[in-house]
Amino acid sequence: MWKRKPMRCDEVRSQLADYAVGGLGRRRRAEISAHVETCQACRADLAALARTGELLSDLELESAPAHAWDSIRYRLQEKSRPTHRRAWESGWIVAGLALAVLVVAAVTFLPGLKPEPETVVAVQVDAEMQASLEGHLAAVWSAPLADAAEVGLRLDSLEDDS
């Protein structure tokens, strides 16, 4: 069976920190373990790395200033207040919009409230028509019943046609 060559010191040392923090694969860890058992220099290196880890773990966490929570709570409460005011204001905005929609709907759909549209017909008047109109107006002015008489005559002629 093929057997791997034992690791040299320089190979071990280049990976000793990874080994010390619990890294590397199982096989490589086993190889390094076997090496440090027999090599005093590498064992001392590993011990120094382990001691460094202990020094780090001996450090203590620093606390934030004592008043920090009060400040956070105050800011959270401040943030929640405008939220309530906005909700209150937005309620009035919604009510106002609803009222506006109701007014528009009432004006649009209720017959009594709907204003009559004004019909404007644009007529292009040329010189010939202008003269005819003026003649007609003069006739109407001088004989107010002429229009009615003409309408009667026209109706008679329509009845005759049918």
In the complex, which residues of this chain contact other proteins (CB under 8 A)?
A: 17-18, 20-23, 44-45, 47-53, 55-65, 68-69, 71-73, 75-76
Q: How far is CA 21 from the centre of its chain?
A: 46
Cβ of residue 26: shortest distance to other proteins, in angstroms? Answer: 14
- Measured from the CB atom, the residue of 18 and 147 that comes closer to other proteins is 18
Cβ of residue 65: shortest distance to other proteins, in angstroms? Answer: 5
Residue 24 per-residue DSSP state: S
Q: How far apart are the first and last CA of the chain?
A: 125
- Measured from the CB atom, the residue of 63 and 162 that comes closer to other proteins is 63
Judge whether 32 and 12 are in contact, CB under 8 Å: yes
- Measured from the CB atom, the residue of 68 and 146 that comes closer to other proteins is 68
Cα dihedral 123/126/127/131 (nearest 10): -30
- Measured from the CB atom, the residue of 38 and 108 that comes closer to other proteins is 38
Number of H helices, E strands in the chain: 6, 0
Cβ of residue 91: shortest distance to other proteins, in angstroms? Answer: 21
d(CA 112, CA 106): 10
d(CA 30, CA 70): 53
Cβ of residue 45: shortest distance to other proteins, in angstroms? Answer: 8
Cβ of residue 27: shortest distance to other proteins, in angstroms? Answer: 16
d(CA 50, CA 56): 10
- Measured from the CB atom, the residue of 65 and 144 that comes closer to other proteins is 65
